């Protein structure tokens, strides 16, 4: 088993999502001792896609410049992490009702036509099939699945668009209202997770 462990919180050691992703990975490793783990801390910076990225990665010039080669290599590395993974463990704290900018940048980097999805006569088809995603969803006040939660539905949709349809959430939500209850809900969900 290959595990891709993604964190995106900006709060360092105080992060609940980082603790949850570590707990999830530990549980998976306990059940699969030979599993390998690739770790990405998106808080260290994920380049946003822009015009330069479009010209380098999407247009794929035959003779890319050195700067374009770097953009291509970075995007390819993020995508290779996902292609090689059997399980994705993603930390998604909720900031301003949505996913972090870093996590959005990472998703933009891996959403690559012809590589992670393709368009067919029947519509889009995800190419990253046969994978499982476990998302540690944490929020101060946004209840998961509520009308003000613009994160969980988006994550389920974009991952499904890429072919990852086995998506489950471990939610520690509304932590600012009742921290202990939010952690208890996450622990109950974690205890139910099949490793």
Give the CA-trace dihedral at 82, 149, 166, 138, to 10 degrees: 70
DSSP 138-161: E-SS--TTSTT--SHHHHHHHHHH
d(Cα 5, Cα 91) in Å, to the nearest integer? 8
**Contact at 8 Å (CB) between 70 and 9?**
no
Could you tell me if 24 and 39 are in contact, meaning their C-beta atoms sit under 8 angstroms apart? no
Q: Is 89 annotated as a binding residue?
A: no
Q: Is 15 annotated as a binding residue?
A: yes
| Separation in Å, CA 187 to CA 34, 71, 94 | 25, 39, 18
167 labeled part of a ligand binding site: no
Binding site, annotated residues? 15-17
Binding site, annotated residues for FMN? 15-17
């Amino acid at each position: 088993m290959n595990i891709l462990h993604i964190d995106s919180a900006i709060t360092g050691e105080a992060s609940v999502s980082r603790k949850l992703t570590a707990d999830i990975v530990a549980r998976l490793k306990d059940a699969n001792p030979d599993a390998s783990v690739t770790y990405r801390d998106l808080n260290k910076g994920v380049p946003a896609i822009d015009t330069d990225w479009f010209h380098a990665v999407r247009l794929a010039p035959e003779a890319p410049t050195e700067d374009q080669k770097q953009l291509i290599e970075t995007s390819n590395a993020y995508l290779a992490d996902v292609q090689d993974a059997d399980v994705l463990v993603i930390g998604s704290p909720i900031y301003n009702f949505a996913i972090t900018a870093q996590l959005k940048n990472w998703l933009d980097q891996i959403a690559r036509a012809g590589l992670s999805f393709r368009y067919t006569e029947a519509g889009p088809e995800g190419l990253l099939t046969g994978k499982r995603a476990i998302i540690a969803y944490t929020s101060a006040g946004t209840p998961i699945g509520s009308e003000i939660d613009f994160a969980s539905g988006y994550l389920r949709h974009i991952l499904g668009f890429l072919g990852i349809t086995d998506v489950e959430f471990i939610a520690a939500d509304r932590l600012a209202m009742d921290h202990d209850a939010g952690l208890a809900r996450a622990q109950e969900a974690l205890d139910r997770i099949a490793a």
